[in-house]
Amino acid sequence: MRRFLLPVLLVCSITASAQQLENDSLKLRQLATEVLTHSKAYEQLRVLTKQVGGRLAGSPQMAKAEQWGVKALKESGADTVYLQACQVPHWVRGAKEEVRIISRRRDFIPPLQVLALGNSVGSVPAGITAPVLEVSSFEELEAKKDQVKGKIVFYNYPFNPAFIHTFDSYGDAVRYRGRGASRAAKYGAVAIMIRSMTHGANNFPHTGAMAYNDSFPKIPAVALGLEDADLLSNRLKDESDLKIYLRTSCRMLPDTIGHNVIAEIKGTEHPEQIITVGGHLDSWDVNEGAHDDGTGCVQSIEILRAFKALGIRPKHTLRIVLFANEENGSRGGKKYAEVAKAANEQHIFALESDAGGFTPRGFSFTMPQEKREKIKSWAPLFLPYDVYDFSSEGGGVDVGELHEATGVAMGELLPDSQRYFDLHHAVNDVFSAVNKRELELGAFSMAALIYLVDKYGL
Ligand SMILES: [Zn+2]
């Protein structure tokens, strides 16, 4: 009889796993139907973007957004909702930036489309008038360092269009925004201008955070729209001694208090083990913070609502976090990580959505190989929803802080990236740029992944 044991067991285990696969597949179908037919995400996003609007850390709009978050989380069925205070930077843009080409040809050139970079100092009280040194890279800056003194350095480094995933183009170019000012100030530059971090076919300037190296003078920094970056570059070719008038009134005020907005459903079997899901509530001041990152917030909240609606009580404690300050300081993520670490909390997984509310393609992860293999074994369950990429490396900035502090396995929703940088940190990141179904499919994908991580552990 013994010789029959193995085949019988094998058949049993195949049947069991086939059964399991079918159960999970039915549960995911229920989740998808629930989200696609009853989601509150799009309406919640409408309120956040239209009634609160742009919400930079430290701004009155951000305080309003926190209240919005508390209400939305309570309505979605959380056991508890609370605020976690943290120090946040308080940068203000001030009056509209003004940047003009001063040409000896005296022809009319409209003011250039610019935005001051976040955290930048302003030029006030007076504007700055200076000649321009255009460089295409830090290497060229080093080669021309003797020509930098007294000039406005113009970093005209294009987004590389050859990358398929646009976050690679961003990762490649963003150093000019982040560190360009101090690199130029080191050699005596009086201000910098950068080509915006985009390959969008428009002239919208794209702001974003920069940081100073304290060893060098702090000089103003602005981003130019692409058409104006090209215009300036072309003018410089036959008028290299033209000047730029630049006036910005932005400034950094003392740190102030912001809050992570946190909601919990207590786990039924392992309440001490936590799964964190979130997005960042803050946004740039010049837009509605729709894709960045209103969509991540409402998708995270939707997981709670859908679980509640389907009677799913997670075994692990599920925590939804709307982070206080990602854009110009990551202080929300840092605070959350610091508190989690100090309390010795046991986190099993942290998921973020901060890459836009576009059609989901999969998830990026940073975790040990065996955990990734476990997640990959669920890939067939996602295929009916056109969600297939489980191989990319990544994780969001906010949960990245928790990963850094505790080593927790982390992931990020991976939406189609082709249109994200058309509007990232620019005036056109508004509610109408979000597609309801794409947003909901992202929310469903996150809910499905969280359901499986909760059911099987990680
Ligand atoms: Zn973001």
Q: What is the mean pLDDT of residues 177-185?
A: 98
Q: pLDDT at residue 4 above 70?
A: no
| Distance between Cα 77 and ligand 1 center (Å) | 25
Q: How far apart are CA 451 and CA 458, in angstroms?
A: 12
| Distance between Cα 398 and ligand 1 center (Å) | 9
Q: How many residues does the chain have?
A: 458
Q: pLDDT at residue 13 above 80?
A: no
| Distance between Cα 85 and ligand 1 center (Å) | 20
Q: pLDDT at residue 7 above 70?
A: no
Q: For the chain, give the mean pLDDT.
A: 95
| Distance between Cα 255 and ligand 1 center (Å) | 21
Domain 32-91+254-456 part of CATH 3.40.630.10: yes
Q: What is the mean pLDDT of residues 45-53?
A: 98
Please state, for a pLDDT cut of 70, what percent of the chain lies above it: 97
Tell me if residue 221 falls in helix, strand or coil.
strand
Is it true that the peptide bond before 125 is cis, omega within 30 degrees of 0? Answer: yes
- Over residues 266-311, the pLDDT tens digits come to 999 999 999 999 999 999 999 999 999 999 999 999 999 999 999 9
Instruction: Give residue 14's pLDDT band: very low, low, confident or very high (50, 70, 90).
Output: low
φ, ψ of residue 36 in degrees (nearest 5): -75, -15
Higher pLDDT, 242 or 1: 242
- Over residues 253-271, the pLDDT tens digits come to 999 999 999 999 999 999 9
Rg, Å, the chain Cα set: 24
- What burial letters (b/e) apply to 154-185, b meaning 16+ CB within 10 Å? bbbbebeeeeebbbebbeebbebbbebbbbbb
AA letter at 124: V
Cβ neighbourhood burial of 68 (10 Å; 0-12, 13-18, 19+): buried
Q: Where exactly are the structural domains of the chain?
A: 32-91+254-456, 94-249
| Distance between Cα 167 and ligand 1 center (Å) | 12
- Token pair in block for residue 271: 């309440």
The correct CATH number of 94-249 out of 3.40.50.970, 3.50.30.30, 2.40.160.40, 3.40.50.720 is 3.50.30.30
| Distance between Cα 280 and ligand 1 center (Å) | 7
Q: What is the mean pLDDT of residues 110-136?
A: 96
Q: pLDDT at residue 121 above 60?
A: yes
Q: pLDDT at residue 5 above 70?
A: no
Instruction: Give residue 15's pLDDT band: very low, low, confident or very high (50, 70, 90).
Output: low
Rounded to 5, what percent of the chain is helix, strand, coil? 40, 25, 35
State residue 6's pLDDT score.
46
Give the residues across from 248 on adjacent strands: none
Instruction: Give residue 125's pLDDT band: very low, low, confident or very high (50, 70, 90).
Output: confident
| Distance between Cα 327 and ligand 1 center (Å) | 6
Cβ atoms of residues 259 and 85 within 8 Å: yes
338 alpha-carbon distance from chain centroid:
20
Assess whether the region 32-91+254-456 and the region 94-249 belong to the same CATH fold: no
- Over residues 419-438, the pLDDT tens digits come to 999 999 999 999 999 999 99
Q: pLDDT at residue 70 above 50?
A: yes
Which residues are known to be catalytic? 326
Which strand (E) or helix (H) includes residue 102?
Answer: strand 98-102
How many H-runs (helices) and E-runs (strands) does the chain carry? 14, 14
Instruction: Give residue 108's pLDDT band: very low, low, confident or very high (50, 70, 90).
Output: confident
State residue 374's pLDDT score.
96
| Distance between Cα 191 and ligand 1 center (Å) | 26
Q: pLDDT at residue 67 above 70?
A: yes
CB neighbours of residue 341 within 10 Å: 15
380 CB-side CA count, 13 A: 8
- Over residues 313-341, the pLDDT tens digits come to 999 999 999 999 999 999 999 999 999 99
Q: How far apart are CA 160 and CA 179, in angstroms?
A: 19
Provide the phi-psi class of 94: left if phi over 0, else alpha when psi is between -120 and 50, else beta: left
pTM beyond cutoff 0.75: yes
Please state, for a pLDDT cut of 90, what percent of the chain lies above it: 93
Q: What is the mean pLDDT of residues 191-205?
A: 96
Q: What is the mean pLDDT of residues 237-255?
A: 97
| Distance between Cα 92 and ligand 1 center (Å) | 18
